[in-house]
Amino acid sequence: MTAAFTAHRRRIAVFAPYRAAMFTRPVLSPAARPVIEATAPVVAARLPAITPDFYRRLFAAHPSLLDGVFSRSNQGSGRQSAALAASVVRFATALLAGDHPVELVRRIAHRHAALGITQEQYAIVHEHLFAAIAADLGDAVTDDVAAAWSEVYWLFADLLVATERALYRQQANDTYWARWRLVAQDRPTHAVRHLVFAPADDTPVTPAVAGQYVSVRVATADGVREVRQYSLLAPGAERRIGVKRDDSGAVSPILHAMAVGAEVELSNPYGDLTLDDGDDPLVLATAGIGCTPAVGFLESLARDRSTRRVLVLHADRSRADWAFAGTVEALVRDLPGATLHTWFEDDRAHPRMVLGDVPLPERATLLLCGPLGFMQAVRDQALALGVPDTRIRYEVFGPDAWLKGS
């Protein structure tokens, strides 16, 4: 660890109590801006190498973080490292451009809240991330460089902490996790299991908004807990999810093998891919098990007897692989302003979703959920058809290394 970084750590300890008073809109200081402009390309290029070292240091010092917080499978694949690199680079780039990356902060804050991340853990991450940066860049980490990048980190962290605190205050309870019991299940397709949970204790239930998800935490064979997020199939106090089995996964095989009466831990509902209060048209574009948030949206619209124009677009391997097909079709029939279009890989004439096949309503908001490649392809089509980027929203489960505009 360089002397410059060690000295800067002491200054950060003194500075920390004042961070909460920072303004909401992040602005780089005059001293930090030229340093970040000069070093951002270097740091961005080195982050893929820095972040694996950071995680090694973090888990060596705090192995408990691998129990129910960080995903071991994401660590093994390197996806978490890629996501961290992407978010740090995007935040620094936004600061240089004078932008407020509200969407990035909000999405990450919701994911952190769904994992029960605490304010104290940001200081732990700072310690080990900057130790990894110093080890990789060596003497290039001068006092000025350490100070500037620490400023970026704490601007980012403070925005996340403030957003997470606001989310926690909206809960009906003061806990991160509660026990829920499996009370019913069925199999809409051979690969998908529909699970219905009821509270197993007296923890007050936080109502969900359509489009939100919950974290499910289960113990694996070696006793270590793993967490995954699943979209809720209905708003309100219900907890219904669709789980697609991944034979190589750590969590979905456990959920598929559960018997009625078994218990799991669920988080409060989170997620910012929710319906707005306007009446502009909606386009719900989904693929595979990504149809689950669309079910929640349609359930909410049906309960409100909405006349809003809704275009439901779904792509899948085949009709037989489309989970909740009957539910979606019934909800579309109940909504006077809704229409449905589908694409299936086993249909040679229409194997892939093509937005040009359907007339997109003017002023429509496009909500995407599905595999990453699908969302990138549909987003590119939408942009080519003139849909503004500000009207394209998406949900990524797992580490989000997709940067809009890239």
Could you give the residue numbers annotated as active site? 122, 164
Ramachandran class of 370: left when φ > 0, alpha when ψ lies in -120 to 50, beta otherwise:
left
DSSP string, 124-188: HHHHHHHHHHHHHHGGG--HHHHHHHHHHHHHHHHHHHHHHHHHHHTSSSS-S-EEEEEEEEE-S
The whole-angstrom separation of Cα 11 and Cα 164 is: 26
- Burial pattern 102-140, b for ≥16 Cβ within 10 A else e, equals eebbbbbbbbbbbbbbeeebbeebbbbbbbbbbbbbeee
Residues in Cβ contact with 183 at an 8 Å cutoff, skipping those fewer than 6 apart: 196, 197, 198, 260
Q: What angle is formed at CA 334 by the lines to CA 330 and CA 338, rounded to 5 degrees?
A: 95
Three-state DSSP at 9 gives: helix
Residue 39 has which token pair? 């070093």
Neighbouring C-beta atoms of residue 386, cutoff 10 Å: 8
Upper half-sphere CA count for residue 386 (Cβ side, 13 Å): 6
